């Protein structure tokens, strides 16, 4: 959930100022890819270009791999809270290259691969405002559906939300509900080898100063796989992406507060293939969540992020 700046100091701290900083003992070496000038909510890689989603305004912008300049790609209706978009995998009945976006009022739009006018693909019959959580099931536990979650992140928000599966014809089916505090800012599909939660929908449930990663299976059963010391938001499975990046491979991250798109090379997460990387929205903390024994562990990762405040919203992993 977007939270406006609290102090001027938070605004003037340069997100990428410590360019020579290095994450000790490995970690994530984020650098500024582009200062976009817009309040970023999400970032998507098409295989050739980046797509940025602008917070609340819901304009979608296209940029070359260098991160800018930006050109208008499509426009969705203006709605408060986040909209998130995903690229169709082009398999299991889904059209190649199309973009699907989940808006706060729970309408899912389809945008042509080349941009232009969006059309309504599906409407979720749920009055709860959503933070746009959306992901394609690439493992198959949900029948290769488009998985969407409702719920609003942060302390003081209505607790919990609902997960839905949407098929290529736009038919919506309820999967199950999850509890708060807070709600899911993002949803990701657990990798095929993710222990007993393989293929589950992983919900980044942001309760403000604390949070958790909740795993929901296709029967709607929910369990917590990680407790976190700050509310989570950006989450990405480190698996082979259908739109691969070659030399552009890595983690792409957005910060609404600074308007900056960040990038960390794929070499930083090579050791975590088959795991999930998750970051916190306000403090910019990062963890790798992975199976361990009969359970799971959340290991804190060092990073080069040095600002005093963040509003980290979207993250996508592009494989080599």
- Cα separation of 237 and 234, whole Å? 11
116: left (phi over 0), alpha (psi -120 to 50) or beta: left
Q: Tell me how far apart the terminal alpha carbons of the chain are, to the nearest angstrom.
A: 30
CA angle, residues 125, 1, 206, in degrees to nearest 5: 90
Reading the block at residue 25, the tokens are 């003992």
* pLDDT tens digits along 150-201: 998 877 778 899 999 999 999 999 999 999 999 999 999 999 999 999 999 9
**pLDDT score at 158:** 81
Three-state DSSP at 157 gives coil
**pLDDT score at 6:** 35
**Model pTM?**
0.92
- Cα separation of 2 and 10, whole Å? 15
**pLDDT score at 19:** 32
**pLDDT score at 71:** 98
- Cα separation of 269 and 149, whole Å? 27
Q: Of the candidates 251, 254, 231, which has an alpha carbon nearest to the alpha carbon of residue 320?
A: 251
**pLDDT score at 107:** 98
Give exposure, 162-188, as e/b (b: 16+ Cβ within 10 Å).
bbbbbbeeeebeebeebebbbbbbbbb
Contact 307, 258 (CB under 8 A): yes
Contact 310, 255 (CB under 8 A): yes
Any bridge partners for residue 133, and if so which?
Answer: 149
**pLDDT score at 25:** 52
Tell me which residues of the chain have a pLDDT lower than 70. 1-25
**pLDDT score at 185:** 94
**pLDDT score at 11:** 28
- Cα separation of 131 and 133, whole Å? 6
């Amino acid at each position: 959930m977007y939270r406006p700046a609290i102090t001027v100091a938070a605004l003037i701290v340069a997100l990428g100022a410590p360019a020579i900083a290095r994450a000790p003992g490995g970690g994530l070496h984020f650098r500024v890819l582009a200062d976009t000038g817009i309040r970023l909510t999400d970032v998507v890689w098409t295989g050739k270009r980046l797509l940025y989603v602008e917070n609340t305004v819901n304009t979608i912008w296209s940029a070359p791999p260098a991160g800018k300049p930006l050109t208008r790609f499509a426009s969705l209706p203006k709605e408060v809270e986040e909209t998130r978009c995903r690229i169709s995998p082009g398999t299991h009945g889904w059209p190649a290259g199309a973009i699907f976006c989940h808006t706060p009022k729970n309408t899912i739009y389809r945008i042509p691969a080349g941009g232009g006018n969006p059309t309504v693909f599906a409407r979720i019959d749920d009055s709860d405002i959503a933070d746009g959580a959306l992901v394609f099931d690439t493992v198959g536990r949900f029948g290769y559906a488009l998985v969407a979650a409702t719920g609003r992140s942060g302390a003081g928000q209505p607790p919990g939300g609902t997960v839905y599966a949407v098929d290529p014809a736009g038919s919506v089916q309820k999967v199950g509900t999850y509890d708060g505090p807070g709600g899911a800012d993002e949803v990701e599909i657990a990798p095929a080898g993710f222990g007993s939660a393989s293929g589950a929908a992983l919900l980044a449930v942001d309760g403000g100063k604390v949070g958790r990663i909740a795993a929901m299976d296709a029967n709607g059963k929910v369990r917590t796989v990680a407790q976190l010391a700050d509310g989570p938001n950006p989450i990405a499975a480190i698996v082979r992406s259908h739109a691969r990046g070659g030399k552009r491979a890595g983690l792409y991250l957005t910060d609404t507060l600074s308007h900056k798109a960040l990038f960390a090379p794929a070499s930083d997460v090579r050791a975590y293939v088959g795991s999930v990387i998750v970051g916190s929205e306000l403090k910019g903390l990062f963890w790798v969540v992975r199976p361990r024994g009969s359970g799971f562990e959340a290991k804190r990762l060092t990073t080069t992020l040095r600002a005093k405040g963040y509003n980290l919203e979207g993250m996508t992993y592009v494989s080599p």
